[in-house]
Amino acid sequence: MQSTHTMSLEVLAGVLPLKDRFWDLSSRLLIRCEVMNPLVIENFERLVELQPQTRFMTVYFNHMSQEITPARYVPTYVNILDIPESTLFFDTSMQAEIRGIPDHLRSREIPKIFTSKYQHIDCLKMFYTDGSRISEATGFGIFNNNFSISLKLAEPASVYIAELAAVHYSLQIINTLPPNHYFILTDSLSTIAALRSKRIDNHDPFFLGKIRESLSNLTRKCYKFTLVWLPAHCSIAGNEKADNLAKIGALDGEIYERPIAYNEFYSASRQRTLASWQTSWDNGDMGRWLHSITPKVSTKAWFKGLDVSRDFIRVMSRLMSNHYTLDAHLRRIGLAEGNHCACGEGYHDIEHVVWSCTEYREARSQLVDSLQVRGRPIHVPVRDILAYRDPLYMELIYHFLKTASVKI
């Protein structure tokens, strides 16, 4: 509705406020220029002497205060196609084999599946790798029966970079061992996908190029490799040990040096932007109903990933914002004379309509029956339903509104 506050719309849609988006994009531009177009930085430095009080100079001063020093390095261009198919394999078969296992049985059943698939492999040829981020620190761990590695990465770093670093370091260890068929096991599907990809560009992380280079060199020396995906936190012993080592690395490990690409600094810029948006959302005067439902901002719309209709999104968004066409709201914006329901038993708001209004007994009876069949509680406050984002509960509330012909 037109009465909905702009910041509420931004939170619902996962869209950065214009002011914060300006800062984020400007910061990214300056980070990129540090490597790709240093003339822009030089021009800003000349402007510093003139000390103009402009928004753009404020952005530049903020950029300089961050001590952003991206490395100027030449990426390693080794195409996966250059590595013989008979020497490099990718095994993600556990994805299909564990599909459908209930959560409460995963830690019992998945280790059995893993053991049946890989028990024939010499454990000395298996390298479990993992990355972890704790308290704004990132590390990686490697477990093999002969090796236990815990190392930290200089910031900025992500779990994805840590996963790649772990694979890279494993290959360095394997390079000291006799040629054989080695297995590198990771719970990172993105790592497997990146190594499997035939696309190479300037934005590839440093470790990805180094891994391809190492694989190319080692396979020419008669080494063979299989990269195996396995699910995380499912009581697979080797993976659990690698996870613990990664956590130790993040907290207490020695720094594993690497050149940090300019685009790795983007995450720090986005974190500062999100922090600014969060502060505005926490301290604002408008949209407090939505704030109680969605206290944390995100660049993902609340409905992302849900297989629902546009009308469902519209109705639930109106309920979340507390701006809808019932008299309780219409009275607030001067479009209704009163805010009481025609039934005479309460305010004409969504809570009353769903759980109390006598006009909708038949539709409510269907709603209660549906909830009981599914083992869900009844008379749950609508605000709590929206806050928990329970798709089934929200779908039943939506169906109730449609059955009762309630216009929202």
Class of residue 35 by CB neighbours under 10 A (exposed 0-12, middle 13-18, buried 19+)? middle
Domain boundaries, the chain: 6-71+265-287, 80-258, 310-403
> Which strands, in side-by-side order, build the sheet including 254-255?
88-91, 224-229, 181-186, 126-134, 137-144, 147-153, 254-255
The CATH classification number of 80-258 equals 3.30.420.10
Please choose, from the candidates 293, 269, 267, 265, the residue with its C-alpha nearest in 3D space to the C-alpha of residue 281: 293
pLDDT per residue over 374-397, tens digit each? 888 988 999 999 999 888 899 999
The residues, ordered by sequence, that sit 6+ positions from 252 with a Cβ below 8 Å of its Cβ are 150, 152
Query: Which residue type sits at 380?
Result: V
pLDDT of res. 101: 86
Q: How confident is the model at residue 134 (pLDDT cuts 50, 70, 90)?
A: very high
| 403 contacts 366 by C-beta, under 8 angstroms | yes
199 has pLDDT over 80: no
Q: How confident is the model at residue 264 (pLDDT cuts 50, 70, 90)?
A: confident
Euclidean distance between CA atoms 197 and 212, whole angstroms: 11
261 has pLDDT over 90: no
Angle at 11 between CA 5 and CA 15, to 5 degrees: 105
pLDDT of res. 77: 66
Query: Given the DSSP bridges, would you call strands 224-229 and 181-186 parallel, antiparallel or unpaired?
Result: parallel
202 has pLDDT over 70: no
pLDDT per residue over 271-321, tens digit each? 889 999 999 999 989 999 999 999 999 999 999 988 899 999 999 999 999
Q: How many CB atoms within 10 Å of residue 83? A: 18
| 161 contacts 205 by C-beta, under 8 angstroms | yes
pLDDT per residue over 43-68, tens digit each? 888 888 777 778 888 888 888 888 78
pLDDT, averaged across the chain: 90
Euclidean distance between CA atoms 313 and 105, whole angstroms: 34
Class of residue 241 by CB neighbours under 10 A (exposed 0-12, middle 13-18, buried 19+)? middle
Class of residue 39 by CB neighbours under 10 A (exposed 0-12, middle 13-18, buried 19+)? exposed
345 has pLDDT over 90: no
177 has pLDDT over 80: yes
Say which range, 126-130, 231-235, 240-244, has the weakest mean pLDDT.
231-235
pLDDT per residue over 67-91, tens digit each? 788 887 666 666 766 788 889 999 9
Euclidean distance between CA atoms 102 and 121, whole angstroms: 28
pLDDT of res. 39: 92
Mean pLDDT score, 226-235:
92
Tell me what percent of the residues of the chain surpass a pLDDT of 90.
61
Query: Which residue type sits at 235?
Result: S
pLDDT of res. 59: 86
Class of residue 311 by CB neighbours under 10 A (exposed 0-12, middle 13-18, buried 19+)? exposed
Mean pLDDT score, 310-336:
92
pLDDT of res. 65: 84
Euclidean distance between CA atoms 360 and 57, whole angstroms: 60
331 has pLDDT over 70: yes
136: left (phi over 0), alpha (psi -120 to 50) or beta: left
Class of residue 249 by CB neighbours under 10 A (exposed 0-12, middle 13-18, buried 19+)? buried
Largest CA-CA distance found in the chain, in angstroms, rounded:
85
